[in-house]
Structure 1
Amino acid sequence: MSRKYRICYPGATYHIHARGNRRGAIFYEDSDYHYYLKTLESVRSKYPFILHSYCFMTNHLHLQIETITSPISHIMKEIHARYAIYFNHKYDFDGHVFQGRYGSKVIESIHYFLTVSRYIHRNPLEANMIINMAEYPWSSYSSYIHNKKNPHIDPTRTYSYFKNPVHEQYRLYVENETKEDELIWVPR
């Protein structure tokens, strides 16, 4: 069976998700999360991209990535290969760290862009891991709502869809529990 073709073009934005092999953990300790972020930055210097949002759970992760010129396949292959080597070496494991290829979906509308951002940031809440999303340390959410610098993400595009104060409007958008189509943002 052949692999599904991935849509790829310069400037494409993706919702990336990856799960641990056999739904196993891909992060055991804080140092694992830090290493994944360090790997993202290292790969970004080789294959530039914009990271709009992220959330790392124990056994899976979500990224909202916009490519510049390099294909998403090069970016993700490099990140996951490096992380797998680190992970297997650290825990004396063999074999696959991730369950198959990462999943990707091209984001081609503002509505979907914002829906993905909201979904990523709500992940720990929906999994009943936390009560307050801003307290989850392995997500970009707290930097969005507190309007504080996170060196891994660029909130500019996301903020551009909200009225001032953008960080508060974004918080209301993400934390609102109404139906998705009732959520308010500024269409452009």
Structure 2
Amino acid sequence: MENKIRDWEKDTTFHVILKSKKGMPIFKREDDYVLLLDSVEKSKKKYNFYLLSYSILNNHVHLVMETTNHSISDIMKGMIQSFVNRYNFKYDLKGNTLLEKPFWSRKLLNNEQIINACIYSDLNAVKAGLVTAPEEYMWSSHYDIISPTHNKIPYADREQLLKYVNGKSVNLYKSKVNTKLIKLQNDFPKEKIHS
């Protein structure tokens, strides 16, 4: 994969994917997931960006992010460095033996692309066969979005995401997710979608 300079301008939204090297599991224990989310939260404070959606599977991560004052490259460099350093310290490792470089990103050009990327992220665990419904998966922003009063720390910026939904309605977003979920369930044999 060619490592090229990425476009940047203020208020730009990206779908970002981080992949583990050789598809190996990175997130083996619950606190490994928390370690990444803490690195994301620290980066949000430092780089002032919005996290519209996320999904963390054991060997890859989806992030839908809206930049404000910093480039996506700077944000991801800081976030990855923070996570890798903390992970390495925890497991007594050296260097970046975890993630493929560079990260993958796609600039999202309109509301429809932004919503579709968020829904894709929300349904990632369902597509992987880990759960049958997105709200069942703990390491995704879906629950942050549809149920803001839950006890989990909300890492996703719910109100920012809802600005892209006509009418800023949680129910409309849920409806869009459910429509894609039904299509996903119809497209895959039932044995592939299981809990």
TM over 0.5: yes
Identity of aligned residues (%): 26
Whole-angstrom distance in 2 between the partners of 1:82 and 1:158 = 25
Q: Do the aligned residues in 2 keep the contact of 1:64 with 1:117 (CA within 8 Å)?
A: yes
Pairwise CA RMSD of aligned residues?
2.0
Q: Note the alpha carbon deviations across 1:26-50, whole angstroms, 9 max, x for none.
A: 2111111111111112122221111
Q: Deviation digits for residues 121-165 of structure 1, max 9, x if unmatched? A: 00000000111210111001012222437532212243232447x
Consecutive unaligned residues of structure 1, counting only runs of 5 or more, are 180-188
SS of 1:33's equivalent?
helix
* 1:126 alignment counterpart: 127
User: Alignment partner of 2:36: what SS?
Assistant: helix
| Structure with the higher helix share, 1 or 2 | 2
Query: Does the CA contact (< 8 Å) of 1:87 and 1:97 recur in 2?
Result: no
TM-score, length basis structure 1: 0.86
CA distance in 1: counterparts of 2:6 and 2:50, whole angstroms: 19
Distance 2:86 2:132 in 1: 32
Distance in 2, Cα, partners of 1:4 & 1:126: 30
Distance 1:2 1:170, change over 3 A: closer
1:1-188 correspondence to structure 2 within 5 Å: 3-95=3-95, 96-148=97-149, 151-160=154-163, 161-163=165-167, 166-176=169-179, 177-178=182-183
Task: Answer yes or no: is the 8 Å Cα contact 2:35–2:87 preserved in 1.
Answer: no
Kindly indicate whether the alpha-carbon contact (under 8 Å) linking 1:14 and 1:106 is maintained by their aligned counterparts in 2. Answer: yes
Aligned residues: 178
Asked if the contact 2:3/2:102 (under 8 Å) is kept, the reply is no
